[in-house]
Amino acid sequence: MYGITKMKENTRLTGPQNKILVFIESQIALFGRPPTYRDIAREFGYEAVGTVQDHIRALIRKGFLKKEPGCARGIRLTHQAESNHVPILGAVPAGRPVEAIEDRAGSLAVPVRLRGELFALKIKGESMIEAGILDGDYVIVQKQSHAENGEIVIALIDGEATVKYFEKRSGRVRLLPANPRFSPIEIPPHAEDVIQGKVVSVQRFLI
């Protein structure tokens, strides 16, 4: 889900590292200060703060954060975590497909490390909650017409848009929810061009 392209191997982020960095970026944007280690542990359900410390040390080593000694919240973003702006193209449902909304609705700041042709969509619905995508979140989407198994995609079906996991098995293509209350969506054979892009990041605003 979190693809980093054209970067040296030792600067690539693992899934947990990427999620923690995005959380730190969002907290600084919202409150003007980074979260504490305990804030991060609580956000991601870590029982031990030491796990957070390990991830923070990795992010410092890879050049995305820097440490400021003597400060209670002594982590700062580096130039690698600076932001670009991508257009918000409206909303997409996390549920049954509904009519796609394609009108521009402003822009959203995203880390410069996210590469490619990007756009943002606001999520409506709860079919992807077990993937950590909640109603009201923004997904950052890399525009492309193909997907690999397990990637979260934006799909357009008969002019209607939705966000789901992509699955292709034995020539059968389905869009899978991350909520047992919702059913998979079957894609007709040879209709994989419904894919509009894959989700590369999620942003959540708490206020």
Q: Catalytic: 168?
A: no
What angle separates helix 15-31 from helix 37-44, to the nearest 10 degrees?
120
The answer to whether 114 touches 201, Cβ cutoff 8 Å, is: yes
What does the block give as tokens for 198?
């894959």
Of the candidates 19, 62, 122, 164, the residue annotated as catalytic is 164
Residues 18-43: b if buried by 16+ CB within 10 A, e if exposed: bbbbbbbbbbbeeeeebbebeebbee
Which position among 62, 122, 127, 201 bears the catalytic label? 127
Give the number of other Cβ atoms within 10 Å of residue 55's Cβ: 22
CB 41 within 8 Å of CB 53 = no
135 within 8 A of 145, measured Cβ to Cβ: no
Instruction: Dump strand ranges (E) for 70-137.
Output: 75-77, 83-93, 98-99, 107-111, 118-124
What tokens does 173 get? 């293509």
First to last CA, the chain: 26
Assess whether 6 carries a catalytic annotation: no
Catalytic residues: 127, 164
